[in-house]
Structure 1
Amino acid sequence: MSETSTTSIGARLDRLPFTRAHGRVLSGSGVGWALDAMDVGLISLVIAALVAEWGLTPDASSWIASAGFAGMAIGATLGGLLADRIGRRSVFALTLLVYGVATGASALAGGVAALIILRFIVGLGLGAELPVASTYVSEFAPARIRGRVIVILEAFWALGWTASALIGYLVIPNIDDGWRWALAIGAIPAVYALVVRWGLPESARWLARRGRSSEADAVVREFEASPTWFPVKAGPQPVAASSYATAEAPTARERLAGLWSAPLRMRTIALWVVWFCVNFAYYGAFIWIPTLLFSQGFGLVKSFEFTLIITLAQLPGYAVAGWLIEVWGRRATLSVFLVGSAVAALLFGQSSAEWAILASGMALSFFNLGAWGALYAVTPEVYPTSLRATGAGWAAGVGRLASILAPPSVPLLMGQGGLGLVFVVFGAFFVIAAAATWGLVERRGRALAE
């Protein structure tokens, strides 16, 4: 497939309005995204329940959380490489199957060791799914609203996390072995993987890049013939081909080397810094919030109730970020929401009254998840099609290294300076991430590099 033909496929996609076919790709991927969030949210609640039921120590709790994130780090890096090699849709479906089956098996775990092993396997699937899904949707979205579409995709995370909070609130405390039933519900992605595999099209940009021109053309024709849902302003700005590494990179080694080529090196560094810092602060805070509330003297039901209320603030955070990202641009939106996250983290760490805990927790949820939406929007735009999933996967993998370190750091920081110190550290990571965003490329309203 020639570079001209590949670009032609992209130009046809960018000229389209938002159609019913786009809605199917977005909603189909979004459901998978929500199920992913539900699983991550459930484990934070399950850990809190096991602290009460099994008498888990902080060290054991952190190992359960970190095992999942270790799997996510490996899954993200391998998933991106595989998606550039064998296709976005196939890897997306495979990841859903892996973590759905492993989550269901976790419900049968008889001890901490078994749960740690299964959480690692769950992480392999979870880690690969998110960067591949965001890459997949970004390659279909019209250029003028691509950022907004990805923020909407990321907003499905709030739906999944809210579902997990509801399951935690209604099921875990009220049923014998409620945490097992909660994890059994998390096996739903294994069934949904079949829907993804047979119900969604492969990325036309990826097909074109791999020389499968007739298949790519058929996919684009399907979108061109699909009924319009929302009109989109036409005419993305042209992209200078000389600014990007456009040569095909057929091997994993060549794709990894491409991330560090002269045009992309600084972008890769900045992206990795942002992903590392945001993951450390986000997972350090949100995995531990139910347990921290429980340890501060709130009952299990009260802790889950507070978690549910805090989680609901994610939805308006995504909505505001989704609007601003096409008004201010990616970098400005991302940096502002990260600074807001830092301020909210500091306030949460100093709060003792119930109203203050809820208000600062909701602010942290609002700003942090809005930042996640902007980060997932900008990440696939950094790289050309031949490297896009690899680049997104490795950025996510570096971020998962931070999420491995974050859970065990919380007990250590608590011992040194209490809750206040914990959230001062998280705030500092948010500030570093906000500064690093200005090393990223701004591609608001512009075509993806092919």
Structure 2
Amino acid sequence: MHRESSPDRELVADANLLTRLDRAPITRTLKIGIGVVVLVWLLESFDIGLVSVLIVVLGPEWQLTSAEIGMLGASGTVGLLLGMIPAGRMADRFGRKKVLIVGTIIFAVFTFLSAFSGNLTQLLVMRSIAGLGEGAIFPVPYLMISELINKERRGRVMGYAQWILNAGYTLPALIGLWAISTFEPTWSWRVASMIGGVPLLLIPVLAIWVPESPRYLLRSAEKLNKNHAHEARDKVRHLVEKIENEAGIDHDTTIVDQDIVNVLLARKEGSAGIGQLLRQPYLKRSLIAYAALTASFIVWYTMLTYAPKIFGMLGATQSNSLLYTGAMMLISAFGVFYQGRIADHRGRKPVFAAYMVIASVGLVLLTLEPVVGKTMVIIGAVAAAWFGLGSFAVPKMYMAEQYPTRLRGLGTSTGEMISRGLTGGILVALLPGLFAGFGVTIVLICAAVAMTLLALPMLFAGQETSGRNMEDLGTDLVLPEGKPSADASRSSAEL
């Protein structure tokens, strides 16, 4: 970083604010803001994981066929997919925070109302509408983390967030176990669904404590009239100065990262339509990032939706199946916690590849007790949970790191839609029939092979993103990859 003079004073002022934001540590304001966003994510995870309880209870209670169970398993994902692309576009256009609030209201209201469904059709409709809200929310936490947290800690904070989120997926299994033990089947699933309305209580907290993304505000200021642009920049300046005050850092209005200046100069001419995702370099980046996320979702949706059923097919009781599922989700929280930390130091690409390979081996061992013995099955289950279910910190952050601010919401929501559509939609709907036709072992071996193959493009052809600022990563300029300027490194060390 160095002192910069330029006739474009607004651009240099924006670069200064982004430079200062990127040097700032994680202070109280950031911890509270990100913490509230992650809490919403946590409660949303309960709603998504609730499907496993619905399948376990309503399968025999309503005498559902394999096809109907598949429809129930995929119902929330259908709405989620339909909501993602418009939500991502709206997040780029109207702000991350507004989309987060609206999405929370939608999914909480309709999850609560689903408790009063009288038949499968009504339940499918309610779950699908709730999924629309979930689709709006899903990309927002890692958009916020990537745009608020400094470049040295993005992966770590994403690991923290996913740690809480993955731990939250134990809640449906545990609450389902409690509901099944406490209530008759007619009411057990309804009580669990009613609990899904709790996020409505967080709306005032979201409005007060969560800051809007400073990168979004600065980008939007370029398109606003003078008064509104000044107001947007003031919000960013206030946030940056508040963080610096909490950290005991001076408000240095002269430092700028020249790479950020270069990107800000170039980005003014860029468009934000979906056609941009079909052009280079974003097409290649998208395909690689989406493949990586799909690899994680294969094991995720298979085990999240059907783990109780899989364990039941392997001989476990209904209660033990839910307990084993909860244990795997708990283990996965530790896997994702350490993945984010390691990826910041060792790189996103090698860490993710290692996770996928180990998870694939674990998934295969899970069903081979007659061949390898019970001890190896337990090791396989732990590996599948730690390295498979706990693999999301890297691919989610990696996807957000591929785009400029104007495309980040659209790019990430499109990736979520495609990867979840292939796995949470098509795969989840097909799995009951595949289990019936080919058996658990063959299906999980095929899943393991697919996971490994989908992780390879990121390892061999993806850009390494750890330790680089978001402006550098998102641009289509030809800038040195993975090599921050010497000035930037020096300033970072001094601070």
**Tell me, which stretches of 5 or more residues in structure 1 are unaligned?**
229-233
**Tell me, which stretches of 5 or more residues in structure 2 are unaligned?**
1-8, 222-231, 249-254, 475-495
Q: Is the 8 A contact 1:245 1:258 kept in 2?
A: no
Cα pair distance change 1:245/1:106, threshold 3 Å: farther
Cα pair distance change 1:43/1:235, threshold 3 Å: farther
Q: CA deviation at 1:424?
A: 1.2
Match of 1:223 in 2: 243
Query: What TM-score do you get using the length of structure 1 for normalisation?
Result: 0.92
Secondary structure of 1:143's aligned partner: coil
Q: CA deviation at 1:3?
A: 4.6
Cα pair distance change 1:347/1:296, threshold 3 Å: closer
Q: CA deviation at 1:77?
A: 1.4
Query: What TM-score do you get using the length of structure 2 for normalisation?
Result: 0.84
Q: Is 2:453 the partner of 1:432?
A: yes
Match of 2:201 in 1: 191
The residue identity in structure 1 corresponding to 2:139 is P
Counterpart Cα distance in 1 of 2:257 and 2:340: 19
Q: Deviations over 1:153-205 (max 9, x none)?
A: 11121221122222122223321211111111111122223321232111111
Q: Is 2:353 the partner of 1:331?
A: no
Match 1:182 to one of 179, 188, 192 = 192
Match 1:103 to one of 108, 111, 114 = 111
Match 1:210 to one of 220, 227, 231 = 220
The residue identity in structure 2 corresponding to 1:118 is M
Q: CA deviation at 1:235?
A: 11
Q: CA deviation at 1:355?
A: 5.4
Match 2:300 to one of 250, 273, 282 = 282
Q: CA deviation at 1:112?
A: 0.8
Q: Is the 8 A contact 1:41 1:164 kept in 2?
A: yes
Counterpart Cα distance in 1 of 2:57 and 2:404: 45
Match 1:388 to one of 408, 418, 424 = 408
Q: Is 2:407 the partner of 1:407?
A: no
Q: Is the 8 A contact 1:151 1:376 kept in 2?
A: no
Secondary structure of 2:392's aligned partner: helix
Q: Is the 8 A contact 2:156 2:337 kept in 1?
A: no
Secondary structure of 1:45's aligned partner: helix
Q: Is the 8 A contact 1:94 1:193 kept in 2?
A: no
Q: Is 2:169 the partner of 1:169?
A: no
Q: CA deviation at 1:241?
A: 4.2
Cα pair distance change 1:4/1:409, threshold 3 Å: farther
The residue identity in structure 2 corresponding to 1:447 is N
Moved over 6 A (4+): 234-237, 242-245
Q: CA deviation at 1:2?
A: 5.2
Match 1:446 to one of 461, 468, 474 = 468
Q: Is the 8 A contact 1:311 1:362 kept in 2?
A: no
Match 2:14 to one of 6, 12, 16 = 6
Q: Which has the larger radius of gyration?
A: 2
Counterpart Cα distance in 2 of 1:298 and 1:110: 30
Q: How does 1:236-247 map to 2 (within 5 A)?
A: 238=259, 241=262, 246-247=267-268
Q: CA deviation at 1:360?
A: 2.2
* Length, aligned pairs only: 443
The residue identity in structure 1 corresponding to 2:309 is T
The residue identity in structure 2 corresponding to 1:293 is F
Q: What fraction of aligned residue pairs are identical, expressed as a percent?
A: 25
The Cα RMSD (Å) is 2.5
Q: Deviations over 1:339-367 (max 9, x none)?
A: 11211111123246765554422221110
Secondary structure of 2:45's aligned partner: helix
Counterpart Cα distance in 1 of 2:60 and 2:334: 33
The residue identity in structure 2 corresponding to 1:207 is L
Q: CA deviation at 1:62?
A: 0.9
